[in-house]
Amino acid sequence: YGRNLIILDEVESTQKIAHDEAQQEVPNGTLVIADSQTGGRGRLARTWYSAHGKGIWMSLIARPHLSIEQAPQLTLVTAVAIIQTLKEVTGLEAQIKWPNDILLNGKKITGILTELQADPDRIQAVIIGIGMNVNQQITDFEDEITSIATSLRIESGNKWERTEIIGELMNQLEKYVHMYEAHGFSPIKMLWESYSVTIGKQLTARMVNETLRGEAVGISENGLLQLKLRDGSIRSIYSADIEFD
């Protein structure tokens, strides 16, 4: 991954560019990186702040040998690769909040946005968008996120080379996507659960149509969060906003 690079200065969203490129038959592992984004997007159509030169704003075009049903778990595969990368490069031990937030000391350092281009029966491309806060100081963050966001610089006291992190992340992502293709989700699931702050917690899960409270007891073989409700029944959740009780 990352051998074919598209490096840009300012864009609306690397995600958008990667979607367009993916339709042009670009090779597996093509990486779109920008110095800043004017319209960075997060999950649930939220804004992703992408200050100029302060973070890693990129989208990977992957063409994995996976079925469409296996694609959503790539978010969890990516989370594991990011945790490993941060450990290798900075020594920091980050944690995962289901489904896609990477936290340091309880604050968000990285978000993942996985999107699919598929025919009815097969994956054409998976666009894995990663936003990582690297060299921001607290005063660089917008007011609405200062209490929930952090950066590598804030947590470590050092500035970091973005290229070094990107290089390591490409190696780790390639390794874990191969592991997933060859051995299925089980080995990834074990790593994911060991890095998770979600499992074992009482939480409220807000979904589009309902809100559920319960204890997170694990993730399923297809990456769904398993919530044990008060009445003892288990519900599998595909996507939600999680708040710890």
Query: Rule CB under 6 A: is residue 95 a binding residue for ligand BTN?
Result: no
Q: Cα separation of 150 and 154, whole Å? A: 6
Q: Which residue is nearest to ligand BTN (CB)?
A: 111
For residues 96 and 216, which CB has a smaller minimum distance to ligand BTN in the complex? 96
- Rounded to an integer, what is the distance from CA 207 to the centroid of its chain? 19
Q: Label residue 137 left, alpha or beta by phi (over 0 means left) and psi (-120 to 50 means alpha).
A: beta
For residues 37 and 95, which CB has a smaller minimum distance to ligand BTN in the complex? 37
Q: How far is the CB of 121 from ligand BTN (least distance, A)?
A: 27
For residues 131 and 214, which CB has a smaller minimum distance to ligand BTN in the complex? 131
Judge whether 43 is annotated as a binding position.
Answer: yes
Q: Rule CB under 6 A: choose which of 1, 57, 98, 160 binds ligand BTN.
A: 57
Q: How far is the CB of 192 from ligand BTN (least distance, A)?
A: 16
Contact 178, 170 (CB under 8 A): no
Q: Cα separation of 66 and 238, whole Å? A: 19
Amino acid in the structure at residue 195:
Y
Contact 72, 114 (CB under 8 A): yes
Judge whether 108 is annotated as a binding position.
Answer: yes
Strand order in the sheet with 107-118: 5-11, 30-37, 55-62, 123-133, 107-118, 101-104, 95-97
Q: Spell out the SS3 assignment of 80-95.
A: HHHHHHHHHHHCCCCE
Please report, as residue ranges, which positions from 107 to 136 form the binding site for ligand BTN (by CB under 6 A): 111-113, 129-131
For residues 130 and 191, which CB has a smaller minimum distance to ligand BTN in the complex? 130
Binding segment (CB under 6 A) for ligand BTN, from list 2-10, 39-47, 142-150, 153-161: 39-47
Q: Rule CB under 6 A: choose which of 1, 14, 75, 176 binds ligand BTN.
A: 14
Q: Cα separation of 240 and 209, whole Å? A: 10
CA atoms within 13 A on the CB side of 48: 29
Binding segment (CB under 6 A) for ligand BTN, from list 79-87, 106-114, 193-201, 214-222: 106-114
Binding residues for biotin: 37, 41-43, 108
Q: Which residues bind ligand BTN (CB under 6 A)?
A: 13-15, 37, 40-43, 46, 48, 50, 57-59, 100, 111-113, 129-131
